[in-house]
């Protein structure tokens, strides 16, 4: 991002081609991310079909309030990013920075809530492996639920952490850059990534918090 | 000559030095973002790794020359075939044509100055080398005996040795594959020269495109699979362990969801190379160009739907098995279209038997044998008999070694003048091509028979009656080894002593041949415009037509 606005990387003919290539590359990257999470969703499907009661029972032990708060946090942060992308095209630097940093802050808050939840689970003995203990009948199925819970939300949290760093970085860069127009594409791509992270959570939330809670 | 159809003119002699001479320091190579230099970096790396995998194979064949386990212990034997498989699959075959020839040629073929993301391209090489270091470390630190498939519980509950390190190596290398695939897809979509429509692309570009689709869509699943396997081992949880509520078959499903499409990563680019060579040395347009292009897409799509044929005897439902069997037969259709179309291209062509053509013809023959024997093992009932026998070994070596390695070497020879700026010596090159063909068949054909007779794979001892065929196979392997060392010797020789290559020594079509040999750093001084279909050998060869 150090090149001045007028400069186009040598392999491209014009700015339009450069922007198209970057955007298209981001979409392809997100496709690989879908497949990365997809394998885990397949694992969830298989083990839920094998242990339907255990999964319902285990899901009752997740913290639905914390999960719901986190869902709200991510949706609001995604909204901030969407507005930031819109304003970046109009060159409104101050607001773009504010919105990106707000989104990053919300992402950090999400991670804090998640850390609280993990801590709570570990204290209750739900961390899979040798220290796992569960008094109910089907402890194997419950343990599998928590293997998936920690793996999938952990991988998602890693993506959130990367997103927080990226959003903060671009938030600061937009404010300080000599030629912020060059960053419009970057903000756009960071936004795509953040929406993807958000969407993954939209699927994780019902699978780990809402199943089996219906009256 | 029809003025509307004309080969793009030769590039003017560039004012900048060629890519090999533009800067000579080690740093200029290790920090290069030039796709051509990155191709060379990959070429050196995978050649070294190929010889590591090859030494393991040589030891395997030496052990199998006698029925008793007299050279290595069974545990060592297990480690050797794992090293051979892991290195050859992930560190040679998968990167071979895409990262070496693909990196070097893709921008040249589409009239671009570089790939879309040159820095990502360099990063992919570093990621690849990082993964390779992990894997070599795992070999030195005690090896792994799971086989290249890392099946649980060999890799989890009953793991010996450095499973995690080796899996980490493969995991890391996967991201290099993803970076390359992503780069190629974007490059092909967004960087083509004016007038170079999809159906004017060389078929090599089509196969790189379909290969890249598989790379980006399949590799993440492998990454997660190995990640879960490592979690199971590190935390003692039972993701794939039935004693702890897990499902070992799920590992196999996830593994083959990547690894079967990976078979097509390992053959499609070879098909692309073959198309280029056949057209050039038959002086004809590829017969049924569009069908060959669409066949690549069909192979990539169907390739994602057949993974279960690796699991016919592993306890998956027989109904699933029947569907997987049917779909596996369907893959033969686009593969056969390609073989028939290459053959039809040869018909009434002006064929010359230069070295690349020998490799390409070898590819067609050996791939056909490999493909047709694939139908044997795709048939449910036959597969029950053949599973885990040498028949399977012979089948996939015919595709991967007889197919892909032949194509890789054919491509290296075909484009060597462009890559190095030198001509290789033709006579030893033809000898080595024929040596490889003969040695390959002697190595692997007896294994079909061994498999039919019931010799299982992955054992270092066997009954006496299998010895004759095993000795033949080992003898073939020694011939094959000579065939592989020869090109290494004379290609290196040619770097210094070979004749200087003209821009287009084969009188081939394609934008890469309009650049000087070797090309300048930025490939094209003038952005080329394409206004002719691919493989216009008929117009190129018109008597009135001059070429340089």
CB nearest B216 (choices: A21, A32, A140): A32
Using alpha carbons only, give the angle B420, B101, B283 rounded to the nearest 5 degrees: 85
Report the SS3 class of residue B422: strand
Q: Determine contact: B358 vs chain A, CB below 8 A.
A: no
C-alpha B250/C-alpha B248 separation (Å) is 5
Contacts of B258 (CB under 8 A, 6+ apart): B218, B219, B221, B222, B225
pLDDT value at B447 more than 50 = yes
Q: pLDDT band for position A3 (50/70/90)?
A: very low
Give me the pLDDT at residue B257, please: 95
**Average pLDDT for B279-283:** 96
Q: Determine contact: B250 vs chain A, CB below 8 A.
A: yes
Give the closest-approach CA distance of B87 to chain A in angstroms. 24
Q: pLDDT band for position B544 (50/70/90)?
A: low
Residue A66, beta-bridge partner list: none
Residues of A in contact with B522 (CB under 8 A): 10
Chain-centroid distance, C-alpha A125: 26
Does A128 sit within 8 Å of B235, measured CB to CB?
Answer: yes
**Average pLDDT for B252-257:** 95
CB nearest A29 (choices: B182, B223, B239): B182
Give me the pLDDT at residue B159, please: 83
Give me the pLDDT at residue B17, please: 85
Q: In this prediction, what percent of chain B has a pLDDT beyond 70?
A: 97
DSSP states of B123-164: HHHHHHHHHHHHHHHHHHTT-B-STTTT-TTTTTTT--BSHH
Q: pLDDT band for position B176 (50/70/90)?
A: very high
Give the 3-state secondary structure of B478-518. Answer: HHHHHHHHHHHHHHHHHHHHCCECCCCCCCCCCHHHHCCCC
Give me the pLDDT at residue B548, please: 45
Give me the pLDDT at residue B14, please: 61
Chain-centroid distance, C-alpha A104: 11
Give the closest-approach CA distance of A9 to chain B in angstroms. 9
Q: Determine contact: A116 vs chain B, CB below 8 A.
A: no
Give me the pLDDT at residue B16, please: 77
Give me the pLDDT at residue B545, please: 55
Q: Cα-flanking dihedrals φ and ψ of residue A69, to 5°? A: -60, -45
Q: pLDDT tens digits, residue range B69-84?
A: 899 999 999 999 999 9
Q: pLDDT band for position B5 (50/70/90)?
A: very low
Give me the pLDDT at residue A194, please: 97
Burial B222-232 (b: 16+ CB within 10 A, else e): bbbbbbbbbbb
DSSP states of B155-195: TTTT--BSHHHHHHHHHHHHHHHHHHHHHHHHHHHH-PPTT
Residue of A nearest to B245 (CA): A140
C-alpha A22/C-alpha A185 separation (Å) is 8
Does A39 sit within 8 Å of B254, measured CB to CB?
Answer: yes
Does B235 sit within 8 Å of A129, measured CB to CB?
Answer: yes
Residues of B in contact with A28 (CB under 8 A): 182, 185-186, 216
Nearest CA-CA partner of B80 in B176, B125, B147:
B147
Give the closest-approach CA distance of B167 to chain A in angstroms. 16
C-alpha B401/C-alpha B398 separation (Å) is 6
Does B238 sit within 8 Å of A143, measured CB to CB?
Answer: yes
Q: Residue B254: enclosing H or E segment and its boundaries?
A: helix B248-265
User: What number of other Cβ atoms are within 10 A of residue B74's Cβ?
Assistant: 14
Residues of A in contact with B177 (CB under 8 A): none
C-alpha B327/C-alpha B261 separation (Å) is 13
Residues of A in contact with B112 (CB under 8 A): 11
Give me the pLDDT at residue B546, please: 54
C-alpha B390/C-alpha B88 separation (Å) is 18
**Average pLDDT for B111-137:** 96
Give me the pLDDT at residue B466, please: 96
Give me the pLDDT at residue A215, please: 65
Give me the pLDDT at residue B488, please: 96
Q: pLDDT tens digits, residue range A105-152?
A: 999 999 999 999 999 999 999 999 888 888 877 888 999 999 999 999
Average pLDDT for chain B? 93
Q: Determine contact: B141 vs chain A, CB below 8 A.
A: no
C-alpha B30/C-alpha B134 separation (Å) is 20
Give me the pLDDT at residue B1, please: 37
Give me the pLDDT at residue A1, please: 38
Does B527 sit within 8 Å of A13, measured CB to CB?
Answer: yes
Q: Determine contact: A130 vs chain B, CB below 8 A.
A: yes
Give me the pLDDT at residue B471, please: 97
CB B386 within 8 A of CB B377: yes
Does A130 sit within 8 Å of B190, measured CB to CB?
Answer: no
Phi-psi region of B515 (alpha: psi -120 to 50; beta: other; left: phi over 0): beta
DSSP states of A74-141: HHHHHHHHHHHHHHHHHT-HHHHHHHHHHHHHHHHHHHHHHHHHHHHHHHTT-SSSTT----SS-HHH
Q: pLDDT band for position B7 (50/70/90)?
A: low
Q: Determine contact: A153 vs chain B, CB below 8 A.
A: no
Q: What is the C-alpha radius of gyration for chain A, rounded to an integer number of angstroms? A: 20
pLDDT value at B2 more than 90 = no
pLDDT value at B132 more than 90 = yes
Q: Which of residues 108-127 of B touch A (CB under 8 A)?
A: 112-118
Average pLDDT for chain A? 91
Q: pLDDT tens digits, residue range A7-23?
A: 788 889 888 899 999 99
Q: Helix H segments across B22-148?
A: 26-30, 35-63, 74-88, 94-95, 103-109, 118-140
Chain pair A-B, CB pairs under 8 angstroms: 101
Does B114 sit within 8 Å of A10, measured CB to CB?
Answer: yes
C-alpha B385/C-alpha A99 separation (Å) is 64
pTM of the model: 0.94
CB half-sphere exposure, B214, CA atoms < 13 A: 32
Q: Determine contact: B217 vs chain A, CB below 8 A.
A: yes
Report the SS3 class of residue A6: coil
Give me the pLDDT at residue B542, please: 77
Q: pLDDT tens digits, residue range B450-488?
A: 999 999 999 999 999 999 999 999 999 999 999 999 999
Q: Determine contact: B246 vs chain A, CB below 8 A.
A: yes
Torsion of CA B75, B78, B84, B90, to 10 degrees: -120
Q: pLDDT tens digits, residue range A150-166?
A: 999 999 999 999 999 99
Does B220 sit within 8 Å of A32, measured CB to CB?
Answer: yes
Does B190 sit within 8 Å of A17, measured CB to CB?
Answer: yes
Q: Determine contact: A36 vs chain B, CB below 8 A.
A: yes
pLDDT value at A88 more than 70 = yes
Using alpha carbons only, give the angle B312, B316, B322 rounded to the nearest 5 degrees: 60
C-alpha B199/C-alpha B534 separation (Å) is 8
Q: Determine contact: A47 vs chain B, CB below 8 A.
A: yes
CB nearest A25 (choices: B186, B231, B257): B186
DSSP states of B426-471: HHHHHHHHHHHHHHHHHHHHHHHHHHHHTPBSS-S---GGGHHHHH
Residues of B in contact with A39 (CB under 8 A): 220-221, 224-225, 254, 257
**Average pLDDT for B395-423:** 97
CB nearest A11 (choices: B116, B245, B247): B116
Residue of A nearest to B244 (CA): A140
CB half-sphere exposure, A17, CA atoms < 13 A: 20
């Amino acid at each position: 991002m150090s090149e001045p606005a007028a400069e186009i990387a040598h392999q491209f003919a014009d700015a339009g081609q450069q922007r198209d290539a970057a955007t298209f590359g981001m979409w392809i990257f997100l496709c690989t991310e879908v497949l990365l999470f997809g394998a885990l969703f397949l694992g969830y499907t298989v083990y839920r079909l094998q242990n339907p009661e255990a999964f319902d029972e285990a899901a009752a032990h997740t913290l639905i309030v914390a999960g719901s708060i986190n869902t709200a946090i991510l949706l609001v942060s995604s909204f901030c990013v969407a507005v930031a992308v819109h304003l970046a095209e109009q060159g409104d630097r101050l607001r773009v920075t504010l919105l990106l940093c707000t989104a990053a802050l919300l992402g950090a808050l999400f991670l804090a809530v998640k850390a609280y939840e993990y801590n709570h689970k570990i204290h209750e003995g739900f961390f899979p492996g040798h220290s796992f203990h569960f008094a109910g009948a089907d402890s194997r199925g419950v343990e599998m639920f928590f293997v998936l819970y920690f793996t999938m939300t952990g991988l998602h949290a890693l993506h959130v952490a990367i997103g927080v760093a990226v959003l903060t970085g671009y938030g600061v860069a937009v404010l300080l850059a000599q030629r912020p127009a060059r960053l419009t594409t970057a903000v756009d791509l960071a936004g795509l990534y953040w929406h993807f992270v958000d969407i993954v959570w939209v699927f994780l939330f019902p699978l780990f918090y809402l199943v089996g809670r219906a009256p | 000559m029809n003025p509307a159809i004309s080969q793009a003119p030769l590039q003017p002699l560039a004012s900048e030095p060629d890519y090999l001479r533009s800067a000579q320091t080690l740093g200029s190579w290790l920090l290069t973002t030039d796709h051509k230099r990155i191709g060379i970096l990959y070429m050196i790396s995978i050649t070294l790794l190929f010889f590591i995998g090859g030494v393991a194979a040589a030891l395997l064949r030496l052990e199998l020359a006698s029925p008793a386990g007299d050279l290595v212990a069974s545990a060592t034997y297990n480690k050797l075939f794992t090293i051979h498989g892991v290195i050859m699959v992930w560190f040679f075959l998968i990167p071979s044509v895409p990262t070496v020839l693909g990196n070097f040629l893709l921008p040249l073929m589409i009239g671009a100055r570089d790939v879309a993301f040159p820095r990502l391209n360099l990063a992919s090489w570093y990621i690849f080398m990082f993964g390779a270091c992990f894997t070599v470390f795992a070999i030195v630190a005690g090896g792994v005996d799971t086989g290249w498939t890392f099946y649980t519980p060999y890799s989890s509950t009953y793991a010996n040795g450095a499973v995690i390190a080796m899996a980490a190596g493969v995991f890391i290398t996967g991201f290099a594959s993803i970076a390359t695939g992503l780069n190629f897809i974007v490059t092909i979509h967004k960087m083509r020269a004016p007038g170079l429509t999809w159906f004017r692309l060389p078929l090599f570009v089509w196969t790189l495109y379909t290969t890249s689709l598989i790379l980006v869509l399949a590799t993440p699943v492998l990454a997660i699979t190995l990640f879960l396997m490592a979690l199971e081992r590190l935390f003692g949880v039972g993701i794939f362990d039935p004693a702890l509520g897990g499902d070992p078959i799920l590992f196999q499903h996830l593994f083959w969801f990547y690894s079967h499409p990976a078979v097509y990563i390992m053959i499609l680019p070879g098909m692309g190379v073959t198309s280029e060579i056949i057209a050039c040395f038959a002086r004809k347009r590829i017969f049924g160009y569009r069908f060959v292009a669409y066949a690549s897409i069909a192979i990539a799509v169907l390739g994602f739907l057949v993974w279960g044929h690796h699991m016919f005897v592993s306890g998956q439902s027989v109904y699933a098995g029947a569907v997987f069997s049917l779909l596996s037969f369907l893959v033969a259709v686009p593969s056969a279209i390609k073989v028939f179309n290459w053959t039809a291209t040869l018909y009434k062509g002006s064929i010359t038997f230069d070295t690349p053509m020998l490799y390409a013809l070898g590819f067609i023959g050996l791939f056909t044998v490999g493909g047709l024997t694939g139908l044997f093992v795709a048939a449910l009932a036959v597969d029950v008999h053949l599973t885990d026998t040498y028949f399977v070994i012979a089948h996939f070596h015919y595709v991967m070694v007889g197919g892909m390695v032949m194509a890789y070497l054919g491509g290296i020879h075909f484009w060597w003048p462009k890559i190095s700026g030198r001509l290789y010596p033709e006579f030893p090159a033809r000898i080595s091509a024929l040596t490889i063909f003969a040695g390959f068949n002697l190595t692997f054909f007896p294994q079909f028979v061994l498999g039919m007779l019931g010799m299982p794979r992955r054992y270092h001892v066997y009954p006496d009656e299998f010895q004759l065929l095993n000795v033949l196979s080992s003898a073939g392997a020694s011939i094959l080894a000579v065939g592989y060392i020869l090109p290494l010797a004379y290609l290196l020789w040619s770097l210094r002593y070979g004749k200087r290559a003209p821009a287009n020594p084969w009188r081939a079509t394609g934008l890469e041949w309009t650049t000087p040999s070797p090309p300048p750093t930025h490939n094209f001084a003038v952005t080329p415009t394409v206004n002719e279909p691919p493989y216009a050998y008929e117009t190129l060869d018109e008597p009135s037509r001059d070429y340089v």
